[in-house]
Every structure is written in structure tokens, then in C-alpha cells.
Amino acid sequence: MRAKCLMIINIVLFGVIVTGFSFYHTGVGSDNTTGMAADNSRFLFLADLQPGMRGVGRTVIRSGVISEFAVEIVGIIDEPGKLSDFIVVRVSGEPIIKAGGVAQGMSGSPIYIDGKLIGALSRAAVWDRADDPIALITPIEGMMEIIGVLQERRFNEHENLIFKETEPIDLRLVAYRPSEVALKRAFAEAATKGINLVFAYPVNSPLMISGLRGRALSLLMDGPNIATPERLIDDFISASLAPPLRGLSSFGFTHHGLPTSIIDTGEENALSPLIPGGSIGVGLTTGDITIAALGTLTYIVDGLLVGFGHRFLHGGSTDFPLTSAYVYDTVESYRISFQLGKIGPTIGTIFEDRAQGIGGIVDHFPEMVDLSFAVRDVNREHHRNFSINLVDEPQLMAGLIFSTGIEALDSTLDRVGPGTVEVVYRIFGDGMPRPLERRDLFLSTTDIALFAPFQLALIANILQYNEFADPQITRIETSMEVREELRAAFITDFNIDRPSYQPGDLLFFEVELQTWRGERTTYRGALTIPEDAVGDFIIIRAFGGPRRREAGEPPLIFEDLDDLISAIEDIPAWDTITIEIFALTPAGVFLGRELLSGIAGTTISMDGYVVLENVEIVARLIHPEE
């Protein structure tokens, strides 16, 4: 073993304080299974690198032009495996000064020594505002493993590259994921010992967002941080594995609030060239609303490419759009500078999303979910259509549907306030036994735009995390018709024909409704009390919309995906009045507890009026044998 103690430095990496270790002149790794479609003479590996070596990096700072900056190696971090191996460098030069340091969007910038690629710029030191700040490089050998996987995907064969053996290391972890207090303590202790302590963070790829504004943008990043509607689909169908809706910030994405735009196909000459150092994007949505992360291409060979130098979503095998991109400028910020750009057309697919970078194939296009919103403002006689393509990623889909649906409604209505919305959803999928179709009606006195997108997001979430089969959603069609009028109906009177009944009797009812600032309407009907009804009383309820299951009723159990789809479709909309008889279950009679169960019912349509009341009457149940 040939150990070279290069320097004493402490680095906080991924929220891990690393201290008291020696930098070694190490090999690359002993797993000789990585495939590469490239000449090894194009690269320098960790075993080839030493402090003091100088090179250049390539990135875009402004106007889509690739610039070079200077790089000097100051140390090497080599841990077991490759996921936490880094090259510690100082970067300098006019591009770094103009950018205000290492900026978001520069991640993936290729670094060369003697014309050979050593890796991708991926992490920077917090608050290092020197003209030559410290940064970390993800070594190329780990990124080339991604190329090997892509090569297998496309050709199903690859050549192996023989790596050198790794020498031992000496590494001690002082703290894992330190709190702010722990960080302050570590900095203070380091200062007393005369040791330089650096907090290094991934240079996250900034999101470029077009077509979202105002609260829709806030909801996209922060999640549903507002009072979301109650008594929607998830109150009536349990989906134990379905996670709550999350904003993109919870996945580590950042957006700096500046507007961006989409490059039309006629502006392709304004795109960065698809060469190392040029800008690329990874899309979450395309179409009328575009959401994509901006980063830098590290290496490309035979249409296979790697970039970023760190994870995107860390989703492993993925199916995200690889897009062209253009950087207008780099915005200097005290916390962290960031690139400002725009996203171009889809040019391929990101198939790999790993800790050491992303990997994609040019001219292979991803399978996306076609999402459409057709919104009609009845009062203004205004209509708009939105066409959006979503990534088929279960963790993200519900949040993307919610925020884009809010944008579709807000931009069409041009107001936030009360109203009534009638909505029809249609969801298609290659893994679904049949399309799902559901109609809903919602009313709000404060914010009518929330209900329909939130309901759709919940339905998509339930389908994505169902226990039977991957729905492989391909298309979601949504039509929404909005009125300022509060189309509400109130139950003003509810009567039955007598105070007591026997099992098997007909029960006649009469329900009177008052529409909001409108007329009164009376509905009459009859229900048969089942012969097997038990207990000493029955409860007759008149209510609008769906209801939660009673304590005496068994949970909904589905046999397959078709069962689940039927249950979602069959839950009554809010303009449905249900007249239902409830009685004690046999277990409730035995235990003397009110374990109720619905035993008979009928429904009445209110033709576009949301029924808000819930009224019940108790009657005696007489058994003749008594």
C-alpha cells in the first residue's frame, strides 16, 4: 500500500461530517463488470490523480456559450465502493467569478486534466465566496457504469473494462446527518484546532417552469399547504400505500421564482450543442405546462450520455424526457447562484437516475401520460384547453396533476372565489381492464378551483398504488364547467308515514328541498324494510353525496383492479340525495352497541345542485313474534 497523506481537511458531505481521514492515492475498484463503449485513454481515474494536478472544466455561464474554467486538485475522498468517492478541487477563472461561484445548473460540468475526463462537477462548499471556491467532482468511473447499463439496454451486450484494485482507506464518521446545532459545534471545534471545515452540498439542478404562476407554482413546490377539501374520494376508499401529495421541494428540487419560457421548434438554433459542457434538461412535464431541471452534459458516446454528477430524483430505472436547453445567464446569489434558462424539445430519454448521475439515450422517446384539462367558464362564456404530458412516476404524478389542474382553472377563470364546478374524469391505462369514468359536482363558498384537481389527484394516487396491477396510465381527460352561482340545495323537511314498522313493510317518505335563493321541491318515494332486519329501531337518513361506512359495516374489499375502478365510479356525486334505512347488526344487538349497517336505500338526482344537509328520523322496529 502506498499511502500519501495529502492534507488535513474536514468536509460535511450529504449532511455527514467527515473528519480525521487521510487522502490516499487509490485505485478505482475491484468490480470488473462495468461496460464502456469508449477508449480508456480518454479518462483519468482516481488511481491516476494527485493533488496539485491542474485542468479545466467546461460549462455554460451565459448566452448558451460553453466556457472553460480552471481546476486544481487539492485532495481525494475514497470510501468503500464508488457512491461516496469524490475529487476535491478548487475552481477559478472568469466564468466562476461571473457565476458567483459554483452555480445550480453547472452540475455535470465535465472536468479534464491533460485533455482526459476525470469526472463531473457535482458539489460545492456552502458560503465559500472566494474567487477559487472548493468544489467536489464525481469521478468518471462511477458515471461510466451508467453508460454500461445504457449500453446493455440498447444493445444487450457490452465489453468489460478492467479496473485497478482499491487500496485501503482510513475514515471515521463523527456525525451522520448532523443537526444545525451539531454543525455549529463541529465548526467551533474545528476552529480551535486550526482545521478548515467545509460544508459541501449537491449543486442541485434548478427547475425551469413555464406555464405555472401564482399559487399553482407554490402548490407545485410546497405541496397542498392550504386547507384542502374534505369528504373526497380518499375518505371513502382506503388506499393504505398511497402517500400524501407532496411538493417538489420535498424531493430536493429548487425553483428560484423567476419566469422562464419554452423554446419553440423553430428556435432550435438557440439550443446548446449536445456536447460535454452543454446544457440539458430532464423533464417532469412537457406541453402547455413545462417543468424540467437544468443541468450539464458530462459525456456522450454513440448517443449514450451521462450528466449532472448527482441524482435527479434517485429513482433508479426511469423514463423521463431528456430535453435540449439554453442558458440565458447565471444569477449570482449569496446562498447559491443558479442558471436561468429555457427548455427545448424532447430529444431522448433518461433511463438511469443514480447517485452518481443521470444517463440517457438520444432519439429514444419516453412513454408519457397525456393529461388534458378542458375548462369552461359559463358566466364569461370563456373556454380553454390545456394539453400536458406527465412522467409516469407514481411519487410525482398526484402533485403534478393537482398543481397543473389549479393552473388550468385559475388562468381560465381569472379569479379565486365561490362557485360550482361540474367535472368529468376519464382515465385510460394499458394495465387497466377498462377506462375509469367518473362525474363529480362540487361547491365552494371560498375557492371553487381546489376541488376537481384534488379529487383527480387522489383518484390517480389510488390507482397508482393499488395492490392488484400497475395501471400503466396512458391518458387522463378532464372536462370542467364552472359557474359563479352557488348551486346548493338544503333539506328543509323530511317525513315518514308512521312511527313504527315491521320487517317486510313498505316505508313511505317525503323529502323537501330548498335550492339556494330558489324554489322548493318535494320528492316522494318508498323503501321496503328487509325481512331479516333486527333490533328495536331503525334510522332513516336523507343525505347528499357519499357517506362514510358505519361501525357495523365490513370494510370494502376488492377482488381485483376492476372492482376498485367500479367502487371509485359508484361513489355518489354531491348532487345525489340518498334515502337509506339503517338498523343494528346482529352483533350490535348481542353486544348492546350501536353497530349500524345500511339495509335498504334509494337515490334521487338533484340535476346539478349540491345537497349539503344530513337529516335522520328514528322509528320503532316491531317483530311480530314478540
Task: Return d(Cα 542, Cα 218) in angstroms, integer.
Answer: 40
444 with 570, same domain: the answer is no
Phi and psi torsions of 464, nearest 5°: -65, -30
Mean pLDDT lowest among 99-113, 116-130, 261-275, 609-623: 261-275
Name the pLDDT band for 32 (thresholds 50, 70, 90). very low
H-only helix segments in 495-625: 561-570, 586-591
Q: What percent of the chain has pLDDT over 90?
A: 56
Which of 483, 499, 527 corresponds to the end of one domain? 483
pLDDT of 7 higher than 70: no
List Cα–Cα distances, 552 to 275, 489, 515, 586, in angstroms.
Answer: 66, 30, 34, 9
279-332 pLDDT per residue, tens: 999 999 999 999 999 999 999 998 999 999 888 988 899 999 999 998 887 777
Name the pLDDT band for 261 (thresholds 50, 70, 90). low
Please check whether residue 409 is in contact with residue 375, taking contact to mean a CB–CB distance below 8 angstroms. yes
pLDDT of 28 higher than 90: no
Judge whether 74 lies within some domain: yes
Strands 290-301 and 338-354: unpaired
337 with 374, same domain: the answer is no
Task: Return d(Cα 203, Cα 105) in angstroms, integer.
Answer: 7
605: which DSSP letter? E
> What cell numbers appear for 569 in the block?
365510479
Name the pLDDT band for 31 (thresholds 50, 70, 90). very low
Judge whether 25 lies within some domain: yes
| Exposure letters 501-512 (e unless 16+ CB within 10 A, then b) | bebebebebebb
Please check whether residue 485 is in contact with residue 377, taking contact to mean a CB–CB distance below 8 angstroms. no
61 with 113, same domain: the answer is yes
Judge whether 40 lies within some domain: yes
Judge whether 254 lies within some domain: yes
Domain containing residue 476: 370-483
Judge whether 626 lies within some domain: no
400 with 421, same domain: the answer is yes
Q: What percent of the chain has pLDDT over 70?
A: 80
Q: What was the pLDDT predicted at 245?
A: 87
Q: What was the pLDDT predicted at 442?
A: 96
What's the mean pLDDT in 175-191? 50
306 with 387, same domain: the answer is no
Judge whether 591 lies within some domain: yes
Name the pLDDT band for 189 (thresholds 50, 70, 90). low
pLDDT of 262 higher than 70: no
> What cell numbers appear for 200 in the block?
459541501
| Exposure letters 293-317 (e unless 16+ CB within 10 A, then b) | bbbbbbbbbeebbbbbbbbbbebee
pLDDT of 501 higher than 50: yes
Q: What was the pLDDT predicted at 29?
A: 32
514 with 575, same domain: the answer is yes
Please check whether residue 237 is in contact with residue 567, taking contact to mean a CB–CB distance below 8 angstroms. yes
Q: What was the pLDDT predicted at 175?
A: 30
Query: Is residue 194 classed as helix, strand or coil in its secondary structure?
Result: coil
Query: Is residue 624 classed as helix, strand or coil in its secondary structure?
Result: coil
Q: What single string gives the DSSP state of each residue in 210-242?
A: ES--HHHHHHHHH-S-S-PPSSSGGGTS--TTP
**Where is mean pLDDT largest: 21-30, 559-568, 585-594, 616-625?**
559-568
H-only helix segments in 65-179: 94-99, 140-155
Laid out side by side, the sheet with 488-496 consists of 520-528, 506-515, 488-496, 610-611
pLDDT of 269 higher than 60: no
pLDDT of 174 higher than 70: no
Q: What was the pLDDT predicted at 270?
A: 60
Smallest Cα–Cα separation from 91: which of 115, 72, 110?
A: 72
List Cα–Cα distances, 341 to 62, 307, 570, 624, in angstroms.
Answer: 9, 17, 46, 81
Q: What was the pLDDT predicted at 11?
A: 45
- Name beta bridge partners: 388: 287, 371
Q: What was the pLDDT predicted at 242?
A: 84
354 with 339, same domain: the answer is yes
CATH number, domain of 81, equals 2.40.10.10
Which of 449, 467, 483 corresponds to the end of one domain? 483
What's the mean pLDDT in 555-559? 89
327-356 pLDDT per residue, tens: 887 777 666 777 788 888 999 999 999 989
Mean pLDDT of the chain, nearest integer: 83
Mean pLDDT lowest among 36-45, 414-423, 569-578: 36-45
Task: Return d(Cα 155, Cα 504) in angstroms, integer.
Answer: 72
pLDDT of 95 higher than 90: no
Laid out side by side, the sheet with 576-584 consists of 500-501, 614-621, 534-544, 576-584, 596-605
Q: Which residue has the higher pLDDT, 100 or 430?
A: 430
**Where is mean pLDDT largest: 125-129, 160-164, 335-339, 465-469?**
465-469
255 with 376, same domain: the answer is no
Which of 426, 457, 483 corresponds to the end of one domain? 483
Q: What was the pLDDT predicted at 43?
A: 93
Q: What was the pLDDT predicted at 481?
A: 98
Judge whether 2 lies within some domain: no
252 with 295, same domain: the answer is yes
pLDDT of 15 higher than 60: no
User: 0.85 exceeded by the pTM?
Assistant: no
Q: Which residue has the higher pLDDT, 598 or 162?
A: 598
| 11-15-16-21 Cα dihedral, nearest 10 degrees | -10
Q: What was the pLDDT predicted at 624?
A: 83
**Where is mean pLDDT largest: 248-257, 572-581, 592-601?**
572-581
318 with 348, same domain: the answer is yes
Judge whether 182 lies within some domain: yes
Q: Which residue has the higher pLDDT, 181 or 425?
A: 425
Q: What was the pLDDT predicted at 273?
A: 79
| Exposure letters 351-386 (e unless 16+ CB within 10 A, then b) | bbbbbbbbbbbeebebebbebbbbbbbbeeeeeeeb
Phi and psi torsions of 456, nearest 5°: -65, -40
pLDDT of 163 higher than 70: no
The total domain count for the chain is 4
473 with 343, same domain: the answer is no
152 with 239, same domain: the answer is no
Phi and psi torsions of 443, nearest 5°: -135, 140
104-157 pLDDT per residue, tens: 888 899 999 999 999 999 887 655 566 788 889 999 999 999 998 998 887 553
Q: What was the pLDDT predicted at 510?
A: 97
368-397 pLDDT per residue, tens: 999 999 999 999 999 999 999 999 999 999
